Amino acid sequence: MIKLFFTILYLGFSTYLYSQGTVIDTILTVNENLYIKDHKKQFNVKFEVSNDILQYSLPKEGVELNIKPNLNLKYAFVLSYKFASIRLGIRPRVSDEDKKNKGDSNSFRLHFKLLFDYWSHLFEYNHDRGYYVVNTKDFIPEIPKSEFRIQFPNLTTDIFSGSTTYKFNENYSVRAIESQTEIQIKSAGTIMSGINYNLYSIKGNDKIKFSEDEIIIRENYNDTQGFNVALNAGYYYTFVYQKHWYANAYLSPGMGIDFYETTSYTPDETLNRSFNDVFYSLHSGLGIGYNGKKIFFGANYANKISSEKFNENKIQLQILKNSFHIFLGYRFKAPKSVKGTIDYIEKKVPLLEEKNR
Q: Summarize pLDDT for 140-176 with one digit per residue, the tens.
A: 766 666 688 888 999 999 999 999 999 999 999 999 9
- Total number of domains constituting the chain: 1
Please indicate, yes or no, if residue 64 is contained in any of the structural domains.
yes
Say which amino acid occupies 102: K
pLDDT at residue 196 tops 80 = yes
Q: How confident is the model at residue 252 (pLDDT cuts 50, 70, 90)?
A: very high
Please indicate, yes or no, if residue 168 is contained in any of the structural domains.
yes
Q: What's the DSSP call for residue 350?
A: G
- With pLDDT > 90 as the criterion, what percentage of the chain qualifies? 39
The residues, ordered by sequence, that sit 6+ positions from 104 with a Cβ below 8 Å of its Cβ are 70, 94, 130, 153
Of residues 10 and 100, more confidence is placed in 100
CATH number (domain holding residue 319): 2.40.128
Of residues 310 and 247, more confidence is placed in 247
Say which amino acid occupies 66: N
Mean pLDDT across the stretch 253-281? Answer: 90
pLDDT at residue 34 tops 50 = yes
- Residues 202, 205, 210, 212: is their CA dihedral positive or negative? negative
Q: What's the DSSP call for residue 267?
A: S
Please indicate, yes or no, if residue 357 is contained in any of the structural domains.
no
* Domain containing residue 43: 2-352
Q: How confident is the model at residue 1 (pLDDT cuts 50, 70, 90)?
A: very low
CA distance 351 to 23: 10
CA distance 171 to 72: 38
Mean pLDDT across the stretch 338-348? Answer: 83
Please indicate, yes or no, if residue 264 is contained in any of the structural domains.
yes
CA distance 151 to 146: 15
In 82-118, beta strands by DSSP E: 84-90, 106-115
Mean pLDDT across the stretch 27-53? Answer: 80
Q: How confident is the model at residue 15 (pLDDT cuts 50, 70, 90)?
A: very low
Residue 103 has a CB neighbour count (10 Å cut-off) of: 22
Q: What's the DSSP call for residue 87?
A: E
Please indicate, yes or no, if residue 248 is contained in any of the structural domains.
yes
Distances (CA, A) of 22 to 18, 31, 80, 353: 6, 18, 26, 13
C-alpha neighbours within 13 Å on the C-beta side of residue 243: 5
Say which amino acid occupies 122: L
Please indicate, yes or no, if residue 46 is contained in any of the structural domains.
yes
Please indicate, yes or no, if residue 232 is contained in any of the structural domains.
yes
Please indicate, yes or no, if residue 20 is contained in any of the structural domains.
yes
